[in-house]
Amino acid sequence: MAAYSAEGRPDPFWSDPAEEGPRMARIYAAIGGTGTDVIPGRDFGYAGLAAHGRNPNNVLMIVAKSANDNAVIYEYVTDAKGPRVIAYWLSIEPSSRAEHVAKGNPSLITGLNPAEELGYGVNTEPVADGRGGTRYLVNLTAEPLRARRMDLMLEPDGTPFLGGIVDGKKARALYGYVQLRRGLTALTALGDKAIEEIRFYGTNLTPGAASFGQTVSEFVRP
């Protein structure tokens, strides 16, 4: 018997790439953005995460996937281990939300399991910046993005963000969308081998560029 997705698709993990825009609109609406489609200049707000016990000002980016509306949130924290980035699931998909509430987890937040760490985890590496200070390099563990280093940076007001390169331009990371492969099962969908491609988005920070402040993106494939 075929396994169907929560949205009624016969393939529970793959969905038409055209679903990316509506899915991201639903996700951003759930976490406090405008809920509009993916267009330059949209509001990538995270105010709704306060209701889940998180500090919206510390959210750096999110990653969604083609299977459902659940998303991985990447958040800046600083503790005894120093400044770093952590990742966790926020269960936005209605069926997942209901399951967490029924199990006594109204925050809808769960950590990544070891297999999920391969596809959606994050590492923070402190290195000397050559000026007597420390630079914090961040990379996602998914194979298509593993070699892509981003800098954990602070705005003048102290707001953290991830700075890196998107489509050859200096950019502030916004989100990634993971297109999973066709024909996966609950077991083969775990880890980065299940990823067909990732579309990565950022805000262009290249000084003097005509597209400065606009959303830029690129496809990243294994």
Query: Chain-centre distance of CA 46, in angstroms?
Result: 12
pLDDT value of position 42: 41
- 94 part of a folded domain: yes
Q: How confident is the model at residue 8 (pLDDT cuts 50, 70, 90)?
A: low
- 24 part of a folded domain: yes
What are the beta bridge partners of residue 87? 74
Please tell me which residue, 178 or 42, carries the higher pLDDT value.
178
Task: Write out pLDDT tens, residues 21-34.
Answer: 999 988 888 887 64
- 9 part of a folded domain: no
Closest by CA to 159, choosing from 62, 78, 60, is 60
- 10 part of a folded domain: no
pLDDT value of position 38: 38
Task: Write out pLDDT tens, residues 132-173.
Answer: 989 999 999 988 888 889 999 998 888 899 999 999 999 999
- 4 part of a folded domain: no
Q: Residue 179: pLDDT above 90?
A: yes
Total domain count, the chain: 1
Q: How confident is the model at residue 178 (pLDDT cuts 50, 70, 90)?
A: very high
Q: Which domain holds residue 169?
A: 17-220
DSSP-derived secondary structure letter, 203: E
- 12 part of a folded domain: no
Closest by CA to 176, choosing from 50, 36, 24, 32, is 24
Task: Write out pLDDT tens, residues 87-115.
Answer: 999 999 999 999 999 999 989 999 999 98
